[in-house]
Amino acid sequence: MADLKPSKVAPYFVIVALIHIGAVASRFDLVAARLPEPTALVIMLAQFPLLLLSGFFEGQLDYGTSSTMPRWMQINSRPVKLAFTFGFTYVALVVLQTWDISIGSIRPMPPASFSPIVRALWFAGFSLGASFPCYLASAGILIPLLRALTWPLRQLPGRLGSVLGALLALALGGALGVVALTAVQSSRLHDVIAGIQATIARDPALAIGVILATVLAPMLLGLILKRE
């Protein structure tokens, strides 16, 4: 049931938007080169639980707008728009970079011969320029999909049901993250699982700490704000 005002959970969506923006920045190769080895994998693992958790909360929002309007106009909350826009932008960048896909003659990564400043401006311009199309795509595709996936979780009654629903959303997002890694890294699931295990073995405190902080802190904030 959509009975939650967007303003109540706006801080949650602001924090998630910032996390997604940081994830987008990590796709720039000069930034990625400065990050510890397992960071890219940890970042990717964290994005999908956050997307499912955001879908869990977004499905409960009452925007107070007409249902006859296009969905991208119904979402009357800037923090919600930013969170889903940059979440979708991250996923789009992963797809474009992994399979070397360009949009017309424009690629997400500039030629290596360009200076670092020009390359950074190119990447930022591409990412920001794609923000509105990504918002339209998230409103038309991603948000309906997330609403459908998290609908059963939103039917759990009471406060305990809200907590359990949020935890299950994170678990489902984690499973989808593994599937995404499978597609990106290998056609065999055991290779991905071995890579995750090796990453955690190299620096378990970093990997587990970052994942837990990234997905659990926003979840707790969203649950607290929802109950206020």
Whether residue 160 lies inside any domain: the answer is yes
Whether residue 1 lies inside any domain: the answer is no
Whether residue 217 lies inside any domain: the answer is yes
Lowest mean pLDDT among 33-37, 49-53, 111-115, 200-204: 200-204
The domain of 151 spans 6-227
Whether residue 187 lies inside any domain: the answer is yes
Residue 226's pLDDT is: 62
Task: Work out how many domains the chain is built from and give that number.
Answer: 1
Whether residue 118 lies inside any domain: the answer is yes
From the number of C-beta atoms within 10 Å of its C-beta (0-12, 13-18, 19+), residue 111 rates as exposed
Whether residue 11 lies inside any domain: the answer is yes
pTM of the model: 0.77
The string of pLDDT tens digits covering residues 76-133 is 999 999 999 999 999 888 878 877 766 655 677 777 888 999 999 989 988 888 888 8
Whether residue 159 lies inside any domain: the answer is yes
Q: What mean pLDDT comes out for the span 175-201?
A: 64
Whether residue 181 lies inside any domain: the answer is yes
Q: What mean pLDDT comes out for the span 131-142?
A: 88
